[in-house]
Amino acid sequence: MSSDTVRSYLEQTLHYFDRPHTGQPTADLVGPWAWRGADLAADPHAWCRPFTDVELAELGAASQRVVDSGAPLETLTKDDVPLGPAEASVAAWRTELADGRGFLLLRGAPVEAWGPQRSEAAFWVLGLHLGAPGCQDVDGRLLGHVTDEGGADAGTRSYRTNRNIRYHCDAADVVGLLCLATASAGGLSRLASSVTVFNVLRAEAPDLAARFFEPFELDTRSDDVGSTTVPIEPCRFDGVRLRTFFHADYFGSADRHPGVTLTDLDRAALAAYEETAERPEIRLDMELAVGDVQLVSNHSTIHARTAYDDDGTDGRRHLLRLWLSLDRG
């Protein structure tokens, strides 16, 4: 599937992994993307704010026009659904994702009043104005539904379960989540700056940090891409920006396939990376509430989720998910 505004799974993946590289950093990397969770937890207003009345009015009106038109979401362009004065806000969010801290949390979308169809339309419209939505699997899923489908085997993609999801990135410049329903317990969202993790690892274990500039085999799981694993270099550095793709589960499970072996150095590097990200002063935890929109750069931020339990609730934890490509990430 491809159009002027929608990217196929392959197009999006190739765009994401087109990361310039000139060599390994020789000093600590500094910039807004090199944040520490303890600092941001003390100043939540820097990264979390409610939608304004103007933003919600524009998104609400646009979503209603989409529903009334009956047009399939994938056929729309951002010119079909202008956001008026709210377009300036979206442009600022996009800059924050591409060149700033690399994530933000927006609160208060009235998803219960909008209902499922308008909520999907509003989230899609927001995605169109941020970038180009892309397919999240080879089946062409464009608007993902993150909920527990009861899968438990090694080939099941983790977002379809309620189990803990370890630190990872998705193969798109930005991943967005809109919370429609919460779990009765758990499901905490966890972020860490991949730049900060690298800085710490480079200072404490430079041999392990250097390992991330060489390929790891990535387990493709249930994605039929013609191979059970693909080689991926986690870190690429262009002289200014470090762009990282990390996936604790999918790198770690690759050796279930014949011909793939994780060396002692590989295991030590993966373990050290995840241990560093898990440090309380490094990570930032947040609980997504109904109506929250979380936007995260997959180049400068890694994300995880704690296990959750839906027992005792009237519904199930349910998030909408978008993968977005930007002109640069």
Q: Quick check: is 274 in a domain?
A: yes
Alpha helices in the chain (DSSP H): 9-16, 37-41, 53-69, 87-99, 111-130, 194-204, 206-211, 248-252, 264-278
Count up the domains in the chain and report the number.
1
Distance CA 198, CA 43 (A): 23
Domain containing residue 112: CATH number: 3.60.130.10
Q: What is the 3-state secondary structure (H, E, C) of 86-109?
A: HHHHHHHHHHHHHHCCCEEEEECC
In a domain, 1, yes or no: no
Q: What tokens appear for 243 in the block? A: 């762009």
The pLDDT tens digits of the residues spanning 49-66 come to 999 999 999 999 999 999
Residue 106 lies in a domain: yes
| First and final C-alpha spacing in the chain | 22
Q: Which residues lie below 8 Å from residue 295, measured CB to CB, with a gap of 6+?
A: 93, 97, 103, 104, 105, 106, 130, 174, 175, 176
In a domain, 4, yes or no: no
Confidence label for 157 from pLDDT (cuts 50, 70 and 90): low
Do 170 and 241 meet the contact criterion of CB atoms below 8 Å apart? no
Burial of 311: CB neighbours in 10 Å, binned 0-12, 13-18, 19+: exposed
- Count of alpha carbons within 13 Å of 209, Cβ hemisphere only? 21
Q: What is the pTM of this model?
A: 0.93
Residue 213: domain span: 9-325
Does residue 312 register a pLDDT over 60?
A: no
218 inside domain? yes
Beta carbons within 8 Å of 267's beta carbon, 6+ residues apart: none
- Confidence check: pLDDT of 224 > 70: no
- Name the range with the highest mean pLDDT among 77-86, 177-186, 220-229: 77-86
> Rounded to whole angstroms, how far apart are CA atoms 137 and 172?
11
